[in-house]
Amino acid sequence: MTFLTRPFRILAFALAAQLLAAPAGAQAPGQMPPTGVSFVTLKARDIPLVSDLPGRIAPVRIAEVRSRVTGIIQNRVFEQGSLVKAGDVLYKIDPNLFRVRVASARASLQRAQATELNASQQFERQKVLRQRNASSDVEYESAAATLAQTQADVALAQAALDEAEINLGYTEVKAPISGVIGGALVTEGALVNADSGNPLATIQQIDPVYADFTQPAGDLLSIRRDIAAGRLAAPPSGGSVKLVFDDGSVHEKPGTLLFSSATVDSTTGQVTLRAEFPNPNRDLLPGLYVRIRIEQAIRKNALTVPQRAVLRDATGAATVFVVGAGNKAEARAVTLGPALEGDWLVIDGLKDGDKAVVEGGQKLQPGMEVAPEEWKPAAATDAAATQPAK
């Protein structure tokens, strides 16, 4: 038998004493401690199906200002680029020739009225003579015909006077609609022709405005089928419609969906939709490129998972670790839908109440023991850190 020397016996007793003094829950030598992870508890909720679609701004109404008479432009009354109201005078055409025509037409009317008066008097005489059998039927009928002819001449002269006065009024070119008028397309002294068809200016009504945008016909039909089949719910009141600028900012006023086209563009396969937006500040200009964010359906009892919780392998397959029974890591293969503001829509693989690992998942293997703690988004953490002390 081999006996330990005295120094080795002392060392052995010291090691034994340390082992007996160690707490019962201490980690055994060589065993890895639980991996720290942050998790979020998934909760089912109603999620709107929102589409971001390209579009352009168009005026609600547009009108070209045209001259309805031929003449020389005397004055441009409006300020270019200003807001005008329907009926405002924009241009003045030299009225002298038209005033002369009104005077001539009025004189012709007065002459026709005098002739009518004479014919009326002759007819009344013939009527009296006929009652006394002092006039023939031919004379009576001739007087009646002459009176009818002069009455027609009066009506014709009155119409000519009305036309002349209308044309005189047209020497003041007025705004056909209210809106923003563009630049003047003619100058003072220019001859404008009623038959040329050339506009003098253009007015656009831009409060409110239209936003015309497009969506692939297949996507729109798929949404409608899912709503009809009950897989999706129709949004309340047609769904919200928002306008997003190039810089990502959102227009302050929400819009209203007016209609979707009944035809598909044969060259692009797109369907055109139209929304209407208030534009009190006139910052939505016709032709402006925008994106329309439209709520087209509601997903009932849907799940989302933070994008940073999703791990992908070399093939692109998505996996999410969840905290299972006994704080053991479980790997779940998931099917994901579209991105929703930092989250992924979960189609399959996760359920309500699952604790999805958001941070620390890269270090996990299935079955590993974890030390879970509730995940706090960075934005919320930063906000708490910068909040002033009370």
Question: Which of 31-40, 269-278, 291-300, 329-338 has the lowest average pLDDT?
Answer: 31-40
CB atoms within 10 A of CB 298: 17
User: Based on the structure, what is the number of domains in the chain?
Assistant: 3
Q: Are residues 100 and 75 in the same domain?
A: no
pLDDT exceeds 90 at position 90: yes
Q: Are residues 147 and 266 in the same domain?
A: no
pLDDT of 27 = 52
Q: Are residues 87 and 223 in the same domain?
A: no
pLDDT of 236 = 83
Question: Once rounded to an integer, what is the mean pLDDT over residues 8-25?
Answer: 44
For the full predicted model, state whether its pTM sits above 0.75.
no
Q: Are residues 134 and 269 in the same domain?
A: no
17 lies in some domain: no
pLDDT of 108 = 97
pLDDT of 327 = 93
pLDDT exceeds 70 at position 385: no
More confident: 236 or 76: 76
pLDDT exceeds 70 at position 2: no
* Average pLDDT of every residue of the chain: 88
The pLDDT tens digits of the residues spanning 104-142 come to 999 999 999 999 999 999 999 998 888 888 878 888 899
Question: What is the domain-level CATH number for residue 179?
Answer: 2.40.50.100
Q: Are residues 267 and 141 in the same domain?
A: no
Question: Once rounded to an integer, what is the mean pLDDT over residues 346-367?
Answer: 93
Largest pairwise CA distance in the chain: 179
Q: Are residues 313 and 277 in the same domain?
A: yes
Residue type, 290: V
| Structural domain of 368 | 46-58+205-376
pLDDT exceeds 80 at position 38: yes
Q: Are residues 220 and 300 in the same domain?
A: yes
pLDDT of 25 = 44
pLDDT exceeds 50 at position 380: no
Question: Which of 23-27, 90-94, 225-229, 314-318 has the lowest average pLDDT?
Answer: 23-27
390 lies in some domain: no
Strands of 89-93's sheet in order across: 172-174, 89-93, 71-76, 191-192
Sequence-ordered list of residues with C-beta below 8 angstroms from that of 248, at least 6 positions apart, any chain: none
